[in-house]
Amino acid sequence: MRASGPRLEFWYELASTYSYLSAMRIEAVADEAGIDIVWKPFVLGPIFNAQGWSTSPFNIYPAKGRHMVREMERLSAARGLPFMMPAPFPQNSLNAARLALIGHEEGWGPAFARAVYTAQFADGEDISDRKVLGKILGDLGRDPAPLLARMEQPDIKQRLRQQTEEAQELGIFGAPSFLAQDELFWGDDRLEQAIARLTKP
Amino acid sequence: MRASGPRLEFWYELASTYSYLSAMRIEAVADEAGIDIVWKPFVLGPIFNAQGWSTSPFNIYPAKGRHMVREMERLSAARGLPFMMPAPFPQNSLNAARLALIGHEEGWGPAFARAVYTAQFADGEDISDRKVLGKILGDLGRDPAPLLARMEQPDIKQRLRQQTEEAQELGIFGAPSFLAQDELFWGDDRLEQAIARLTKP
């Protein structure tokens, strides 16, 4: 990480289709712009609940959901990324998000996030499954058992709750969201605008 | 209009902020790409009602609404367009949409749509007001009185209902939407992708 360069906060949800698109490209885009990314995993469930939704708006509003699936197919194909809809959608991403918090402390967070997205959207695996998560950790060269144990600790659960509350306080209502200084940008398609906010003041 | 070139359907709502952004640039973008635009006014009210919403999602979900306003300020400024939020938001666009239907038959539809957006988002005028609509028509060199009378006729009201039902059948759930052959694209930020669908098959 650069000593004092501009930093973009990348608020992502591991069950979010459009967050997948951003996670797979954000470091290349940021490197080119000379900025650092601060990865901020959170979960949308409590934020959706606060809006009166019990599941993803893509399930509640079927026309919106159909458009999202078709668009993900188009955008993934254009970017050379695999894409399939996981079942069920959205996946329960709580455990994965807790591990991501640990990973961002320890330096393997971005690679872990990308591997979770690949398991889910390329391979159709269940990212709430401890076996799936353990395999991802092992493939990254980490020892799964202590990390899966730490994932269950109250302090990690509490940190994810706090980070999700912070998202809500920032006005975040969907994912991915980008915070460039005090400006909030929503959606993978706004990544370039968020970066321009930092690099062309 | 070109004899047999590719055509993009532009489904727009006259009370929609993001439709304003598209209306102000779509003809330049389409000309450059060598395609024709088919302007399709409709109203979102019945589509929102069918989803259980009694008003715009930007009102129902305040964080989403605050983001939209801030983003409209950013995007308008970047494009050199004026922007203010009208009060109330959304405006009642039924009469304006009925006039737009007539205008698209008679060849003054695009200029009328742009003038309605300017009255609303640059000047803060009430686009449900017959005086405001009459002035717009007059400024376009049309005789307002017979057009305002025709706007109230059952056949025009019925055509707007039909066009809105057609939007719903196409899977449209927001505005602007673009239909490129059988592919649906949602959002001003998808205009270029929709055009590419027609020009780079």
pLDDT tens digits, residue range A72-126?
999 999 999 999 999 999 999 999 999 999 999 999 999 999 999 999 999 999 9
- Inter-chain touch B64–A174, beta carbons under 8 Å: yes
- Residues of chain A whose beta carbon is less than 8 angstroms from a beta carbon of chain B are 51, 61, 63-64, 66-67, 70-71, 74, 168, 171-174, 183-186, 189, 193
- Rounded to a whole number of angstroms, the distance from the CA of A15 to the nearest CA of chain B is 20
User: B41 to chain A, minimum CA–CA distance in Å?
Assistant: 19
Q: How far apart are CA A76 and CA A80, in angstroms?
A: 6
Query: Locate tokens 């807790």: which residue?
Result: A98
- Give yes or no for a contact between B156 and B52, defined as CB atoms under 8 angstroms apart: no
Residue with tokens 């056949």: B155
- Percent of chain B surpassing pLDDT 70: 98
CA distance A53 to chain B (A): 11
* ipTM of the complex, rounded to two decimals: 0.90
- Which token pair is B138? 């007059």
Residue B4's pLDDT is: 66
Mutate: best of B42, B60, B71, partner A, most A CBs <10 A: B71
Given A51, A64, A186, which is nearest B173 (Cβ)? A64
pLDDT in tens, B10-22: 999 999 999 999 9
Mutation choice for B interface testing from A164, A173, A185, A190 by most B CBs within 10 A: A173
B124: helix, coil or strand?
A: coil
The tens digit of pLDDT for each residue in B89-124 reads: 999 999 999 999 999 999 999 999 999 999 999 999
Evaluate whether B98 touches B137 at the Cβ level (below 8 Å).
no
Strand partners, A133: none
